[in-house]
Amino acid sequence: MGSRKHNMATQLKEARKAKAFAKLTNCPTSPRKMRLVADQVRGVEVEKALQILKFSPKEASRNLEKLLLSAIANWQAKNEEANIEEAGLFVKSICVDSAGMLKRLRPAPQGRAHRIRKRSNHVTLELGTKNNSN
């Protein structure tokens, strides 16, 4: 590896150390349904976001709640000396992308078949702090 590439790689590693994020891949929920819940917690403080997700009746909120708890645990692992309440954690960004689809066939009248697309998604959640806004 050249020196310029090596320098860029080390800079990227240092930048990633400051970020706290979590990824959820191949979640068997359609991206549209997941985005409805994700939009509710984008930009919200962590404590309030956990309450929103806990009391939401939607199925997607259960997966996002676990993902948010995972991101908080990742933040704690990187900042062992810091306190969560004093850091002012909030959901900096949450991105829902579509993943692969399972294609199934459903019988239809007169010998035909309709295609059923069972969609899934990938979610990336990043936390930020109010103090320095990573």
User: pTM, whole model, 2 decimals?
Assistant: 0.84
DSSP letters, 63-105, are HHHHHHHHHHHHHHHH-TTS-HHHHTEEEEEEEEEE---EEEE
Angle between helices 31-41 and 60-78 (to 10 degrees): 50
Looking at per-residue pLDDT, the higher value among 122 and 18 belongs to 122
Q: Is the pLDDT of residue 1 over 70?
A: no
pLDDT, tens digit, for every residue of 16-68? 777 889 999 999 999 999 999 999 999 999 999 999 999 999 999 999 999 99
pLDDT band at 87 (very low <50, low <70, confident <90, very high): confident
